[in-house]
């Protein structure tokens, strides 16, 4: 499972920008909402698009889930509970890399 998580992380770190917002709370919101919606898409579950923000997160999640299915065919063969575990591990790792372990002190500056 760790190897699969790292493959997903490697993809977004090289191909996406949404996880690098300038503030920690923005990064947390982006990670949480995009990954939650991508998980729902990968598990063929309904996705809430009730607000403009939800629709923005959905667009990113759609691109992410489509690319994951294309680049990592093993993901479509996984059972839905395993996909949820995988994506939670992925989110935890991305949060760690982009928020918790970030050396960019400006992301936590309350005046920024």
pLDDT at residue 77 in the model: 97
Give domain limits for the chain.
1-16+46-102
33: Cβ contacts below 8 Å, ≥ 6 apart: 53, 54, 57, 61
Would you tell me how many other CB atoms lie within 10 Å of the CB of residue 108?
Answer: 12
Alpha-carbon gap, residue 32 to 91, rounded angstroms: 7
pLDDT at residue 112 in the model: 65
pTM: 0.91
Per-residue pLDDT 10s for the chain (112 aa) are 999 999 999 999 999 877 677 888 888 999 999 999 999 999 999 999 999 999 999 999 999 999 999 999 999 999 999 999 999 999 999 999 999 988 887 777 777 6
């Amino acid at each position: 499972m760790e190897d699969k998580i790292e493959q997903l992380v490697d993809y977004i770190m090289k191909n996406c920008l949404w996880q690098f917002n300038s503030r920690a709370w923005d990064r947390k919101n982006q990670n949480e909402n995009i990954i939650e919606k991508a998980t729902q898409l990968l598990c063929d579950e309904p996705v809430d698009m009730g607000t403009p923000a939800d629709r923005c997160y959905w667009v990113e999640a759609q691109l992410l889930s489509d690319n994951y299915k294309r680049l990592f065919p093993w993901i479509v063969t996984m059972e839905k509970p395993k996909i949820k575990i995988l994506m939670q591990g992925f989110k935890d790792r991305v949060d760690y890399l982009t928020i918790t372990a970030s050396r960019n002190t400006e992301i936590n500056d309350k005046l920024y």
